[in-house]
Amino acid sequence: MSTTYSRLFEPIELGPVTVPNRIFQPPHGNAYGLGQQQTDFRAEKARGGFGLIVQEYSQIDETTDVTPVDSGYLHDDETIPPQKRMVDAVHAHGSKLFVELWHGGATAGNYGSRQPPLTSSQRPTGRNYTPKAMEREDIRTVLDAFGDAADRARRAGYDGIELHAAHGYLISQFLSPFYNDRDDEFGGSLESRMRFFEDAIERVRDNVSADMAVGARYTIDERVDGGLTADGDGIEVMRRLSDDLDFWDVDIGIKQSIDDMIGPSRRHEKNYQMDYLKAATRELDVPVGGAGRITDPDDAAALLEENYVDMIGMARQSISDPHWPRKVKDGDVDRIRECIGCNICVSQSRQGIPLVCTQNPTVGREGDWPPETYEDAADPKGVLVVGGGPAGMEFARVMGERGHLVHLKERDDRLGGRVTFEAGLPELGEWNRVRDWRAAELDRLETVSVHTGPRAEMSYDDVRTYGAELVVIATGAEWDETGTTSSSHQPVPGWERDHVLTPTDAIATDLSGQTIVIFDEEGYNVSAGVAQSLAADNRVIFVTPRASAFQETLHTFERRTIFTALYDLGVEFVANHTLEEVRDDEVVASNVYSGDRRSYEADAVVFTTMRESNDDLYRSLKADAESLRSSTEIESIHAVGDCVAPRRIADAVYAGHELAREL
C-alpha cells in the first residue's frame, strides 16, 4: 500500500469500539428487508474492507413505520435472529456493524401501522396527512421505544448504535426550529429543543452494554430557511452533546433539501459536504465522520490529513464498488469502479423497490454473483460481441474474466454507445465512468480484443463467416423519429418534415437563434440535457403530455437542479399537452384533458418520446439460427441490452452481466 493512503487504514476508537480503519459505510437503506440478501450485501462490504458498516435506518416501534419500504427494523424480538446472522457475517471479515435507530416522525406516513404520525409540532408535510404534535405520554412512549430498540440491538450483537438525529426525522424535528414551535420543555430555546435528543441518548445508553459505541447521525446544516446552520445552532448542538456520544456521523440536508443530502453528480461536486464539517471536526474531541460524493482515494486521504473529518463515509461509493478499501490497500486504485452520482440506487430503494446500481450489476445478488469473483469457463468459447455500449462492454468484460476468447466490435470510433452521448449532455460528464471503467478493464484482459471504427461494423455475412461459437448482438437502440407516445401509439402528423429531429440529431446540428419545440415523454436525463443544451442559444418550448416535466428525476433528486437550470435559461413549459401536428413553422398542441388546442411557433421540433431497438441484425441471424448452427461454427445467438428492450443504462449493464454469468 502506498504511504499516501496509510492514514485511511489507521484504526480509530469510537468510545469502547476500535474500528480497524477509517473507511465506513454510513447507514443506507436498500429495501432488501432483513433476510439473506441483506446479510450478503453488508458482508460483501466487510469483505471488501470497510472497517465499519452502519446498517440502515431501523424502525424502533409501531408509532413509526417504513411502509412501503422493506427496510431495517428493531421494533420487536422477531427482528433479532436475522440481524444476529448479519452481525456474525460482518464480524467474520473483521469489520464492525452498527445499527441506526430511526423514528420517522412527521415524515413517516405510517400507512402500514395506521398510527397517527407523531412529531414535535403540527406542521404541513406536503402530503395527504398532517402529523400529531406529541403529548407528554407520546414522548415517554417513544423514548422508551428507543431504549427497547437499543436493547434488541445489543441482543443482536451489534457493536454500536447510531441514533438517527438527522434528515428531518423525529429527533431532528425536535432539534430544528424549522419544525419545532413548542412552548413546553421540549421546544423554544436550543436547550429545550435538545431535550428529546438528550433523553433518547440516555435511554439508549441505559440499554447498551459497556462495549458498545453510541453515536448519532446528525444534520449540521439543514439547508432550509429557518433551519439549523453549520455555523450557528448546528455546531452548537454538537458542542453541547459531545460528552454524551462516542462519535458523530454528520451530513447536510433534510427532506425539504434532500438533493443536498444525497447529492446527484449533477451540480454536486465531489466531496461537496466537507466544508460544512471541518469546523466541528477540528474543534471537537469526539470523532466526526462524514460523506458526500467521496469516491477518489487521493481525496479521501487528503480529507483525513487536513482534518476535514476523522472517518471517510461512502454510501454510494460502497454500493458502486464494495471493494474500494481493498483495492486501495492492494494498490489497485485504477480498478476502483467509481460511482457516477446518478442516484438510480436511492430512486428505487426510497420507493420500496429493491436497490440496484448503474455501475455495479452485482448489487443485491452478492450471494450468487460475488463481485470480482467469476467462475472459470469449463469450455472456453470464441465469442463475437457486436456493439460496444454498456451491455456489450459489460458482457465482453465478464466473459473475458471467465476465460472465454472475446472479440468486441463497435462501429463508432470509441466504445460507450449511448453512454457517450448521454454523458456529453450538460452536467452529466461523470456518467462517462460507466464507459471508462469498462474500457480500462477490457484493455487489461488478455482474453478480450476490442475493435472500433467503421471497419468494425458487422453485417450478417461478416457475422456468419467470423468463426465465432457464441454470437451476442448488443447493437443498442435509436430514438424514434415519429413522436409516438404511450397514449397515441401513432406518429405525430408532420413527423417526416425536415425540421423534425431526434435528440442525437439535435445535439449534432448547429442550432442557434431559433424557436425549438421539444416534445417529450422520456421525462429523464436526455430530454433535460437536450433542453439545457439547446436553450443556451435558442428559445425552447418544452411540451409534455405528463403532468410535469422530468418526472423520472423526482426520486433521483435531480429535479430541482434541472428545473433551476432550465428556468434560468428561459425554457417555457407546457405540461398536460400532446402534439397534434407539426406544420412548416408551428406545432399544434392539445390539452390531454380538455382537448383545447393551441399553436406554438417552431423552427425546429425535437422528439424525446421513445427509443426503438436496433435489432435487425439479431433478428435476421436468429431467423437462420438452425442453418447457421449446421453450416458454421456458431452454436448460439443472443441479443442483450437495449437491443432487446431500451431501458436505463443500469438495466443494460445488468443484462450484459447476467448473460455473461449464465452462459
Ligand X SMILES: Cc1cc2nc3c(=O)[nH]c(=O)nc-3n(C[C@H](O)[C@H](O)[C@H](O)COP(=O)(O)O)c2cc1C
Distance CA 340, CA 328 (A): 19
What's the grid cell of residue 285?
474531541
The SS3 assignment for 545 reads coil
> Would you say 276 or 607 has its CB closer to ligand X?
276
Cell 397534434 locates to 580
CB atoms within 10 A of CB 631: 10
Nearer to ligand X, 60 or 604 (CB): 60
Task: Give min distance, CB of 301 to ligand X, in A.
Answer: 16
User: Is residue 346 part of the contact set for ligand X (CB under 6 A)?
Assistant: yes
Identified binder of ligand X from the candidate list 317, 320, 502, 613, rule CB under 6 A: 317
CB-CB contact of 196 with 139 (8 Å): yes
Other residues' Cβ atoms within 10 Å of the Cβ of residue 245 = 25
For the bound state, the minimum distance from the C-beta of residue 449 to ligand X, rounded and expressed in Å, comes to 36
Q: Rounded distance, CA 392 to CA 156, Å? A: 44
In the set 26, 49, 215, 545, which binds ligand X (CB under 6 A)?
26
The option from ligand X, ligand SF4, none interacting with 344 (CB < 5 to 8 A, set by class) reads ligand SF4
d(CA 33, CA 72) in angstroms, rounded, equals 6
DSSP label of 558: -
Alpha-carbon torsion angle 409, 411, 414, 419, nearest 10: -90
Of these partners, ligand SF4, ligand X, none, which one is at the site of residue 56 (CB under 5 to 8 Å by kind)?
Answer: ligand X
Among 46, 118, 262, 340, binds ligand X (CB under 6 A): 262
Element (H, E) at 313: strand 311-313
Instruction: Tell me which stretch binds ligand X (CB under 6 A): 153-161, 312-320, 583-591, 629-637.
Output: 312-320
Q: Partners of 277 in the beta sheet?
A: none
Task: Write down the least CB distance from residue 29 to ligand X, Å.
Answer: 4
Catalytic residue, candidates 5, 32, 73, 169 = 169
Q: How far apart are CA 156 and CA 507, in angstroms?
A: 56
The dihedral sign for the CA sequence 346, 347, 352, 356: negative
The binder of ligand X chosen from 17, 170, 303, 315 (CB under 6 A) = 315
Question: Closer to ligand X at the Cβ: 435 or 555?
Answer: 555
User: Residue 82 or residue 380: which is nearer to ligand X going by CB?
Assistant: 82
Out of ligand SF4, ligand X, none, what residue 204 binds, judged by CB under 5 to 8 A for its kind, is none
Q: Which residues pair with 588 in a beta bridge?
A: 581, 599
Contact flag: residue 473 with ligand X (CB under 6 A): no
Residues in the interface with ligand SF4 (CB under 6 A) total 13
Is 49 a binder of ligand X (CB under 6 A)?
A: no
57 makes contact, choosing from ligand SF4, ligand X, none, with CB < 5 to 8 Å by partner type, with ligand X
In the region spanning residues 574 to 593, those forming contacts with ligand SF4, defined by CB under 6 A, are none
Residue 314 CA to residue 336 CA, distance in Å, equals 13
Cα–Cα distance between 587 and 571 in angstroms, integer? 17
Beta strands 577-582; 586-591: pairing state: antiparallel
Q: How far is CA 393 from the centre of its chain?
A: 21
- Per partner kind, with CB cut-offs from 5 to 8 A, the member of ligand SF4, ligand X, none near residue 579 is none
Residue 654 is a catalytic residue: no
Is residue 204 a contact partner of residue 147, using CB atoms and an 8 Å limit? Answer: yes
252 or 448: CB nearest ligand SF4: 252
Between residues 209 and 351, which has the closer beta carbon with respect to ligand X? 351
Which one of 20, 29, 51, 289 is in contact with ligand X (CB under 6 A)? 29
Does an H or E element contain 213, and which?
strand 213-221
- Per rule CB under 6 A, is residue 200 in the interface with ligand X? no
C-alpha cell at 398: 465478464
Does 217 engage in binding with ligand X (CB under 6 A)? yes
Q: Does 322 bind ligand X (CB under 6 A)?
A: no
Using DSSP bridges, classify how beta strands 160-165 and 118-119 pair: parallel, antiparallel or unpaired: unpaired
Rounded-to-5 percentages of helix, strand, coil across the chain? 35, 20, 45
For residue 140, the minimal CB distance to ligand SF4 (Å) is 39
**Phi, psi at 473, each rounded to 5°:** -100, 120
Phi, psi at 657, each rounded to 5°: -65, -45
Q: Is 483 helix (H, G, I), strand (E, B) or coil?
A: coil
Collapsing DSSP to helix, strand or coil, 576 comes out as coil
Q: Which is nearer to ligand SF4, 299 or 462 (CB)?
A: 299
Site for ligand SF4 in 359-418 (CB under 6 A): 359
- Residue 290 or 361 having the CB closest to ligand SF4: 361
Q: Which is nearer to ligand SF4, 289 or 322 (CB)?
A: 322
Element (H, E) at 460: helix 460-464
Binding site partner of 291, from ligand SF4, ligand X, none, Cβ cut-off 5-8 A by kind: ligand X
Peptide bond before 68: cis, by omega within 30 degrees of 0? yes
- Decide whether 79 or 358 has the Cβ nearer to ligand SF4: 358
Q: Residues in the chain, how many?
A: 663
* Distance in angstroms (rounded) separating the CA atoms of residues 366 and 353: 17
Residues 6+ apart with CB under 8 A from 176: 168, 193, 222, 227, 228, 254
Considering only residues 100 through 159, tell me which ones interact with ligand X, judged by CB under 6 A. 100
57 touches ligand X (CB under 6 A): yes
By beta-carbon proximity to ligand SF4, the closer residue of 55 and 320 is 320
Q: How far is the CB of 343 from ligand SF4 (least distance, A)?
A: 5
Residue 355 touches which of ligand X, ligand SF4, none (CB < 5 to 8 A by kind)? ligand X
* Member of 47, 193, 293, 381 binding ligand X (CB under 6 A): 293
Q: Nearer to ligand SF4 by C-beta: 471 or 652? A: 652
We find the least distance from the C-beta atom of residue 57 to ligand X, in angstroms, to be: 4
- The phi, psi pair for 160, rounded to 5°, reads -170, 170
Residue 349 binds ligand X (CB under 6 A): yes
Residues 448, 146: Cα–Cα separation, whole Å: 55
Nearest to 543 by CA among 516, 510, 569, 562: 516
Binding partner of residue 29 among ligand SF4, ligand X, none, CB under 5 to 8 Å per kind? Answer: ligand X
What does 639 bind: ligand X, ligand SF4, none (CB cut-off 5 to 8 Å by kind)? Answer: none
How far apart are CB 322 and ligand SF4 at their closest, in Å? 10
Which of ligand X, ligand SF4, none interacts with 556 (beta carbon under 5 to 8 A by kind)? none
The answer to the question of residue 251 lying near ligand X (CB under 6 A) is: yes
Minimum gap (Å) between residue 247 Cβ and ligand X? 14
Of residues 311 through 370, those in contact with ligand SF4 by CB under 6 A are 316, 319-320, 339-345, 357-359
C-alpha cell at 583: 406544420
Q: Are strands 96-102 and 160-165 parallel, antiparallel or unpaired?
A: parallel
Binder of residue 340, out of ligand X, ligand SF4, none (CB less than 5 to 8 A by kind) = ligand SF4
Is residue 638 close enough to count as binding ligand X by CB under 6 A? no
Q: Which three cell numbers stand for residue 253?
A: 440536508
For the bound state, the minimum distance from the C-beta of residue 62 to ligand X, rounded and expressed in Å, comes to 19
Taking the alpha carbons at both ends of the chain, their separation in whole angstroms is 37
Catalytic residues, by residue number, are: 169
Interface residues with ligand X (CB under 6 A)?
Answer: 26-29, 56-57, 100, 164, 166, 217, 251, 262, 291-294, 313-317, 345-346, 349, 355
Interface residues with ligand SF4 (CB under 6 A)?
Answer: 316, 319-320, 339-345, 357-359
